[in-house]
Amino acid sequence: MRPKLEVLDQSLIERILDEAFQLINNPGVRIAPYVVELLRAAGADVRDGIAHIPAKLARSALQTVPRKFWLYDRRANPVVHYGGDRVHFDPGSSCLNILDPETQQARPAMASDLIRLVQVTERLPQFAAQSTAMVCNDVPPELGDWYRLLLVLWYSEKPVVTGAFSASSLHILLELLAIESGGRKALRNKPRAVFDVCPSPPLNWSEFASQNLVDLARAGVPAEIVSMPLAGATAPVTLAGSVVQHAAECISGITIHQLANPGAPIVWGGAPAIFDMRSGKTPMGAIETAMLDVACAQVGQYLGLPTHAYMVVGDGRVIDAQVEMESGISAVLGALAGINLISGAGMLDFLACHSIEKLVIDAEAIASAQRLIEGIEPRTESLALAAFAQAGLHGDFLKLKETRVLFRKEQHFPSAVIDRGFESDPAQVNGILNRARERVDELVMEYQRPEMLADREQAILQFAVAEAARAGLRTLPGISLLASADR
C-alpha cells in the first residue's frame, strides 16, 4: 500500500472549486491586452482590463488539458512523468544569492556557482530534473534568464524546470531548447523543459505572464502555473480561502492557455505560503505553507491534472537544525501528497538564498521521502513464517538467503551525509555541514560533462555568442569557447 496524505475531503474540494469558478467570473481576473481578444472571442466579458470568465468556458478549457505528459532528457528518454501521483524533485530556481561554500555567508551567485550546482544535481538520482537554479550575477541582467538555461543545457542532460523573465526573452529560451532538441518540432514532441509562469496575486495575469502562457501554448512547450497566494496578505487569511484563490488563478490561466492552443501541456502548480503577521515574511518552511501546497495539489489531482509545488525549503539563514527540519518535513509531506514535481530543494532564507551543501542534505530527506512512498510490500510468500522456519529462535536472520536478496529493496542506504555511526569515536564525527561539503566535492569530482552532438553544440554556441554580443558580452562566463572549439 502506498501511503497517501490528503488534507481536504471531497465536499471541501467541491466547495473550493465552486467558489473558484465564481471568482473568475466575479470579481473576474485582471488580464493583459495580449489576451483580451482571445477571451472575448470565446465568450468572456472583458471590461477595463478585467475578464469575467464564465464557469462553462473554464470547464471546457479544463477538459482539453492533457492528463499526463513527459519531460525528456537529452537522449530522448522519458524521465519526469506529469500526471497521476508520480513524484519527482528538482532544485529551487532563480535565486540571486548563494551561501558561499567556504564562509557560509550569503553572496551574489555567479556562473561558476550555477555550474557546480548543476554538476551536483546531475549526479544525484533524487533529482529527476535540473532547474535554472540561480541568476548569474557575472552576466548582464538583460540576459539573466536565458543564460541560466544555456549553462544548464551545456552541463546537464536531465530535463529542466525553467522560466523567462520577460515576454520577449521567452523566445530566446525556446530557441536554445529547439537547437538542443534538433528543432521546434522535436522540442514539441519530446519537450526537455517546462516553463514556470506566475500570476500575480490576487487574480492578475500580467502582460508578461499572459503572453508567456499564450506563446508557450502555441509553441507546444509545457507551461507550469506557479500561483502564489500569500494567506492573509495577497489572499484570504484562511488556508481554505487561499486554496480557492490558487484554484481560481490556475483555472483562469489554464483557460487562457487552452484557448491559445487546446491540448497544449500545462501543470497545476504553485508556491503558496502563509504571511507571517509578525515579520511580514512568507515562511516557506511553515507547516501551514506545506498544508497549502498539499491542499492546492489535491484540488489539481481531483481535476485529473498534472501537479507541481514549491517545497523542501527552509527559512533559516544558515544550514542548521531549523532549515533541515523544515525542509525534511516538507519533502515528506510533498511526497505523501503525490505531487508530480516538487521544486525548491537547496533553498533557504525565504527563497532568498541557495546552498549546494543544503541541496545534498535535502537529497537525503528526499531519498527518505521516496522510500516512504514505496510503502511496505509483502515481498515473500509468507511474511515471516518461512524466515522463522529457517532461522528458528536463534534468530540468525543475517545468514538467510532472503536477507541477502531483499535487504537492498527494503532499506535505503543514505550517503555519508547521514551519520549512521561508522565512526566509533564521537569526537571524530564530522558535523553535517562538513559532511555535506565533502559530499559536494565528491559529486563534483565524479561529474563528467554529458556528450552533446557536435553540430548542436556548435549551433548553441553560435546562437549564444550572438545573443550575448547584443548585450555587449564578449565571452560566455562558465563556458570555455576554446575547449569546445577543440572538441
Partner 1 sequence: MPEDTFSAMRQSIIDGAPDTAFSLAQQALAAGIATLDAINRGYVPGMHEVGEQFARRQLFLPDMVASAEAMRAAMAVLDPELKKLGTEGPMSGVVVLGTTKGDIHEIGKMLVGTMLSANGFKVHDLGVDVSAETFAAKAQEVNADIVGVSALLTTTMRNQRGVVEALTGAGLRPHVKIMVGGAPVTRQWAEEIGADGYAKDAMSAVALSRSLMEQRAARVMGPA
Which residues bind to partner 1, rule: CB under 8 A? 94, 96, 135, 141, 144-145, 165-166, 200, 204, 206, 208, 230, 232-234, 275, 277-280, 350, 352
Smallest distance from partner 1 to CB 82, Å: 26
Smallest distance from partner 1 to CB 168, Å: 12
Smallest distance from partner 1 to CB 166, Å: 8
C-alpha cell at 116: 557546480
CB 133 within 8 A of CB 110: no
Q: Residue 167 or residue 356: which is nearer to partner 1 going by CB?
A: 167
- Separation of alpha carbons 144 and 213, rounded Å: 20
Q: Per-residue DSSP letters for 48-79? A: TTEEE--HHHHHHHHHHS-S-EEEE-TT--EE
- Separation of alpha carbons 456 and 479, rounded Å: 15
CB 99 within 8 A of CB 113: no
Smallest distance from partner 1 to CB 95, Å: 8
- The number of beta carbons lying within 10 Å of the beta carbon of residue 206 is 16
Q: Residue 166 or residue 261: which is nearer to partner 1 going by CB?
A: 166
Which H or E run includes 254? Answer: helix 239-260
Q: Residue 352 or residue 429: which is nearer to partner 1 going by CB?
A: 352
- The number of beta carbons lying within 10 Å of the beta carbon of residue 298 is 23
Smallest distance from partner 1 to CB 125, Å: 30
Q: Residue 200 or residue 430: which is nearer to partner 1 going by CB?
A: 200
352: left (phi over 0), alpha (psi -120 to 50) or beta: alpha
Q: Residue 25 or residue 204: which is nearer to partner 1 going by CB?
A: 204
Closest CA to 249 of 406, 104, 53: 53
Smallest distance from partner 1 to CB 204, Å: 7
List beta partners, residue 345. 91
Q: Residue 48 or residue 486: which is nearer to partner 1 going by CB?
A: 48
Residues 6+ apart with CB under 8 A from 125: none
- Separation of alpha carbons 284 and 289, rounded Å: 6
Smallest distance from partner 1 to CB 106, Å: 8
Q: Residue 130 or residue 282: which is nearer to partner 1 going by CB?
A: 282
- Secondary structure (3-state) at 470: helix
- Separation of alpha carbons 221 and 233, rounded Å: 33
Q: Residue 182 or residue 232: which is nearer to partner 1 going by CB?
A: 232
Residues 6+ apart with CB under 8 A from 184: 174, 178, 219
Q: Residue 83 or residue 346: which is nearer to partner 1 going by CB?
A: 346
Q: Residue 34 or residue 350: which is nearer to partner 1 going by CB?
A: 350
Smallest distance from partner 1 to CB 209, Å: 10
- Separation of alpha carbons 85 and 258, rounded Å: 23
Smallest distance from partner 1 to CB 413, Å: 38
- Separation of alpha carbons 38 and 94, rounded Å: 30
Smallest distance from partner 1 to CB 280, Å: 5
